[in-house]
Amino acid sequence: MDSSCSSLQRLLTPEQATAACDTWRQFYEQVWLPLHIPTRTVWQQAWWLAVQDTREATASSVHFWMLTLRPFVLFVRMTLQWILQIIWKYVIVKGISQQGVHYVKTAARRWYRWQRSLTREQLVMELVLIVLVLALYYLHRFLQRQTYFQRLSAWVRAKMRVLQLYYDRSKRATAKVRTLV
């Protein structure tokens, strides 16, 4: 309070400063002191206690609601799981399989009708093509089992590696010459 009066004395004339200080003292003694306003440390302690109480109340409320609602949440979860299993089993799986069976039947009918619409020459050509594809497949399997085929393929791979190395070296040499020029 004395510091505020001394700052008022610097700003005002001495008579005005004395009157202002007296008014300030009267206000302080009549209004401020009877309020018993606590100091800053008391406010901080009260604030800290309020925050701790709020945190503890929130934690206990959450714990209470978890204990109270857990059976209901478990029941809802189990019911929802049961409903989704029924939907999966009877709508998705059986529905998709029935739709797949329908598509296979439709495709088989169309293929049969298409085969019946072909001429005898077209059927023979189709049969020859199928036999040729099967023969090439079995020839490929036979050649893979033979050791000379494996040796030949290993020799070809080795030659390809040598050619690749030669190509890479010549490419690097050309790049070095270009950087020097």
Residue spans per domain, the chain: 126-180
The CA dihedral of 121, 123, 125, 126, to the nearest 10 degrees, is 160
- The predicted pLDDT at position 180 comes to 67
Q: 157: which 2 tokens? A: 């791979």
- The predicted pLDDT at position 101 comes to 79
Residue type, 31: V
Distances (CA, A) of 140 to 23, 128, 135, 150, 151: 114, 18, 9, 12, 15
Query: Is 80 exceeded by the pLDDT of residue 18?
Result: yes
Q: How far apart are CA 17 and CA 22, in angstroms?
A: 8
Query: Is 60 exceeded by the pLDDT of residue 81?
Result: yes
Beta-carbon contacts of residue 150 (< 8 Å; ≥ 6 apart): 144
pTM of the model: 0.31
Q: How far apart are CA 67 and CA 71, in angstroms?
A: 8
Q: How far apart are CA 110 and CA 117, in angstroms?
A: 11
Query: Is 90 exceeded by the pLDDT of residue 164?
Result: yes
What average pLDDT does this structure show over 66-88?
Answer: 87
Q: 31: which 2 tokens? A: 């209004």
- The predicted pLDDT at position 8 comes to 59
